[in-house]
Amino acid sequence: MKDIWQSRTSFILASIGSAIGLGNIWRFPYVCYANGGGAFLIPYLIALLTSGIPLMVLEFSLGHKFSKPAPAAFGNIKKGFEVLGWFALLIGFGIVTYYAVVMGWCFNYLGYSFNLAWGKDTQTFFFNQFLKISDSPMHIGSIQWMIVLGLVLTWIAIIASIWKGPNTVGKVVYYTVIIPWIILIVLVIRGITLPGAIEGLKFYLTPKFSALLDYKVWLAAYSQVFFSLTIGFGVQITYASFLPRDSDVVNNAFLVSFANNATSFVGGFAVFSTLGYYAQQTGLPVSEVVKSGPHLAFVTYPTIISMLPFAAGLFGILFFLMLLTLGIDSAFSLVEAGAASIIDKFKLKRIYVNIGFGIIAMLIGIIYTTRGGLYWLDIVDHFMNNYGLLVVGIIECIAIGYFYNHKELREYANSKSDFTIGPWWDFCIKFLTPIVVGILFVTNIIERIKAPYGGYSRFAEFLGGWLLIILFIIIAVFLFRTRRRE
Ligand code: PHE
C-alpha cells in the first residue's frame, strides 16, 4: 500500500517542521543584523518570492506529479538526473549526522538547566568542560560519553518519529511544530519585558539602507532563504510525494514559506530582546554580544538564563526544549527522505531501513563527540551548505528549466491549486535562481581557493570538505547504477 498523509494539515506541518529548525533562531536573526538590520527584510523577501517559493513550488509539483521520492522523481525527467536526487539526499545525510549531535548537546543542556550547572563562566564550561575541545581537528582525542548519550537519545527520537513513515510523521509534527511556537511566544514575552530589550531590538531592526547596495547582502539573503526552507535536499519532493492526488500545490508552497519566514522574524525578537538585556546587565554594547550558531545557544543564552530575575531554570528548560523540538522535525525529514528513497528503489522493509539508517548515521556522528569534534562539525557544515546544497539547487533548476517541459509542470501545479502562478515562475527557475545561486557558488569557491575555511589546515579542509563531497558523488552514481528492484 502506498504511503499517504492522513490530512493536508499533516503534510503542511511536516513541511513547515522540516523548514523551521535551529537556523531560524540562531542563524536568521544574526544574518539579518549583520546585513543591514531591518533593511535586510527587503532582499530577504525578494529572495523568498523569486527563489524560495518558486523552488518550493517546483519541489512540491515534482513530488506530487510523479508520486515518487527525489531520486525516482528526478529520474523521470531524464534517467541520469536520478544521480542528483541521491546526491541531494547524501548531502542531507551528511548534515543529519552532525545535526543530531547538536541536538544531543541540547539534551545535555536541558538537564543542566535544572540546576544551572553551567555556572558563571559559560564559555569555559561549554568549550573546556563539556566539549573538552582540543587544540586542532587533527587531535581528535577521546569520545565524550555524555554527548554520546545525548546522541543516542536523539536517534531514538528520530527513528521513533518516522517509524511508519508519513503515518507516524503526520502525528508527531503536531507536537514538534506547535510546541516550539508556543515556547517561542513565551520567550518573546519574557524577552521584551526585560530591561534593555528595546536597545537590543533596535540593533536587530534599525534599517541601514546603504546595505542594499552591497551585493553580498543580496547573496546572503538568497543563501539564507535556500537553507532555511530545506529545499535542495529532496525532502520537500519526498513529502509532496505522499500527497493524495487531488491536493493543492501552490497554496501549500506559499503557506509553508511564509510560516517559516514568520518564525524566523519572531525568533529575532526573542533573541535580540534578550541580548539587549544582557548588554544592559554587563555594560557591553549589543554589537559585542551578538553571535550566531552554537555560541549563541550554548554560551550566551545560558549566561542570560542564569541572570534572569525569577524561574531561571524554567526558562532554561523551555529554551532547550524549544531547540530540541525545532530541530527534530528538520532532522527526521532528512532521514525520512532518505529512507523513503531506499525503500522505493530497493524494496527493503521499512523497519530495517529505519534502524540501519539510524545506526549508521549515529556511528558516524561519534566523530563529532570527540574532543576535536566541534572543528569537524564546523568544516562539514560549511561544505555541505555552501557547496553541496548550492550545486543541487543549480542543477535542479537546470534540469527542470532546460531538460523538461517546465511550462507543463507549472500548468500541472496550477491545475491542482486554488490560485495559480504565471510565467514569472519559468523565468525564476530558468534564469534568475540558477544565476544568483551560481554567483553565490563561484564566490564561495574563490574564497576557498584564497584560503582554507575557518583557518584550518588544507588537509583538514580536504578531509572534512572536498573528500566528503567527492565520496557522495561516487556513492550517488553507485546507487543510481544499482538495479531497481520491482
Ligand atoms: N531549514 C533548517 C533550519 O533553518 C536547516 C536545515 C537544513 C536543517 C537542512 C536540516 C537540513 O534550521
Least confident among 109-113, 114-118, 179-183, 214-218: 214-218
Cα gap 65→424, rounded to integer Å: 21
360 Cα–ligand 1 center, Å: 21
Is the shortest distance between the CB of 385 and ligand 1 below 6 Å?
Answer: no
Closest Cα to atom 8, ligand 1: which residue? 330
Domain regions of the chain by residue span: 8-481
Is the shortest distance between the CB of 54 and ligand 1 below 6 Å?
Answer: no
- Nearest residue to 70 (alpha-carbon basis) of 83, 90, 85: 85
pLDDT surpassing 90 at residue 465: yes
Radius of gyration of the chain (CA): 22
- Nearest residue to 55 (alpha-carbon basis) of 298, 178, 280, 223: 223
CB 359 within 8 A of CB 196: no
pLDDT band for position 1 (cuts 50, 70, 90): low
Q: What pLDDT does 441 receive?
A: 94
Q: What pLDDT does 2 receive?
A: 77
- Beta-carbon count within 10 A of 411 CB: 14
Q: What pLDDT does 227 receive?
A: 87
Q: What pLDDT does 486 receive?
A: 81
Rama region for 123: left / alpha / beta (φ>0; ψ in -120 to 50; rest): alpha
Q: What pLDDT does 125 receive?
A: 98
Is the shortest distance between the CB of 22 and ligand 1 below 6 Å?
Answer: yes
Closest Cα to atom 7, ligand 1: which residue? 230
Pocket test for ligand 1, best of 330, 335, 383 (most atoms within 8 A of CB): 330
21 Cα–ligand 1 center, Å: 5
- Nearest residue to 333 (alpha-carbon basis) of 13, 53, 55: 13
Is the shortest distance between the CB of 335 and ligand 1 below 6 Å?
Answer: no
Q: What percent of the chain has pLDDT over 70?
A: 100
Is the shortest distance between the CB of 223 and ligand 1 below 6 Å?
Answer: no
Owner of C-alpha cell 525564476: 428
Owner of C-alpha cell 536526487: 85
224 Cα–ligand 1 center, Å: 10
Pocket test for ligand 1, best of 230, 256, 265 (most atoms within 8 A of CB): 230
Q: What pLDDT does 188 receive?
A: 97
- Beta-carbon count within 10 A of 42 CB: 17
Ligand 1 atom having least distance to the Cα of 264: 4
Cα gap 54→474, rounded to integer Å: 30
Cα gap 382→390, rounded to integer Å: 12
CB 85 within 8 A of CB 74: yes
Is the shortest distance between the CB of 264 and ligand 1 below 6 Å?
Answer: no
Is the shortest distance between the CB of 330 and ligand 1 below 6 Å?
Answer: yes
216 burial type by CB count under 10 A (0-12 exposed, 13-18 middle, 19+ buried): exposed
Q: What pLDDT does 226 receive?
A: 86
**Residue 133 CA neighbour count, 13 Å, CB half:** 14
Query: What CATH number was assigned to the domain covering residues 8-481?
Result: 1.20.1740.10
pLDDT surpassing 90 at residue 243: yes
Is the shortest distance between the CB of 97 and ligand 1 below 6 Å?
Answer: no
Is the shortest distance between the CB of 21 and ligand 1 below 6 Å?
Answer: yes
pLDDT band for position 126 (cuts 50, 70, 90): very high
Is the shortest distance between the CB of 19 and ligand 1 below 6 Å?
Answer: yes
Pocket test for ligand 1, best of 227, 292, 329 (most atoms within 8 A of CB): 227
227 Cα–ligand 1 center, Å: 6
Q: What is the pLDDT of residues 258-286, one digit of tens each?
A: 999 999 999 999 999 999 999 999 999 99
Q: What is the pLDDT of residues 347-400, one digit of tens each?
A: 999 999 999 999 999 999 999 999 999 999 999 999 999 999 999 999 999 999
Q: What pLDDT does 116 receive?
A: 97
Rama region for 293: left / alpha / beta (φ>0; ψ in -120 to 50; rest): left
Q: Considering the entire predicted model, what is its pTM?
A: 0.95
Angle, in degrees to the nearest 10, between helices 70-77 and 53-66: 90
Is the shortest distance between the CB of 184 and ligand 1 below 6 Å?
Answer: no
Q: What is the pLDDT of residues 47-101, one digit of tens each?
A: 999 999 999 999 999 999 999 999 999 999 999 999 999 999 999 999 999 999 9
Q: Measure the CA angle with vertex 368, ends 26 and 127; round to 5°.
A: 65
Q: Convert the chain into a string of H (helix), E (strand) and C (coil).
A: CCCCCCCHHHHHHHHHHHHCCHHHHHCHHHHHHHCCHHHHHHHHHHHHHHHHHHHHHHHHHHHHHHCCCHHHHHHHHCHHHHHHHHHHHHHHHHHHHHHHHHHHHHHHHHHHHCCCCCCCCHHHHHHHHHCCCCCCCCCCCCECHHHHHHHHHHHHHHHHHCCCCHHHHHHHHHHHHHHHHHHHHHHHHHHHCCCCHHHHHHHHHCCCHHHHHCHHHHHHHHHHHHHHCCCCCCHHHHHHHCCCCCCCCHHHHHHHHHHHHHHHHHHHHHHHHHHHHHHHHHCCCHHHHCCCCHHHHHHHHHHHHHHCCCCHHHHHHHHHHHHHHHHHHHHHHHHHHHHHHHHHHHCCCHHHHHHHHHHHHHHHHHHHHECCHHHHHHHHHHHHHHHHHHHHHHHHHHHHHHHCCHHHHHHHHHHCCCCCCCCHHHHHHHHHHHHHHHHHHHHHHHHHHHCCHHHCCHHHHHHHHHHHHHHHHHHHHHHHHCCCCC
pLDDT surpassing 80 at residue 249: yes
How distant, in Å, are the alpha carbons of 73, 189, 325 from that of 218?
31, 31, 30
214 burial type by CB count under 10 A (0-12 exposed, 13-18 middle, 19+ buried): middle
Is the shortest distance between the CB of 23 and ligand 1 below 6 Å?
Answer: yes
Report the chain's mean pLDDT, rounded to a whole number.
96
Is the shortest distance between the CB of 292 and ligand 1 below 6 Å?
Answer: no
Closest Cα to atom 6, ligand 1: which residue? 230
pLDDT surpassing 70 at residue 250: yes
Q: What is the pLDDT of residues 103-123, one digit of tens each?
A: 999 999 999 999 999 999 999
Is the shortest distance between the CB of 95 and ligand 1 below 6 Å?
Answer: yes
In this structure, is the dihedral angle defined by the CA atoms of residues 337, 338, 344 and 348, taken in order, positive or negative? negative
Task: For residues 233-253, give the mean pLDDT.
Answer: 95
Cell numbers describing residue 155:
536517534
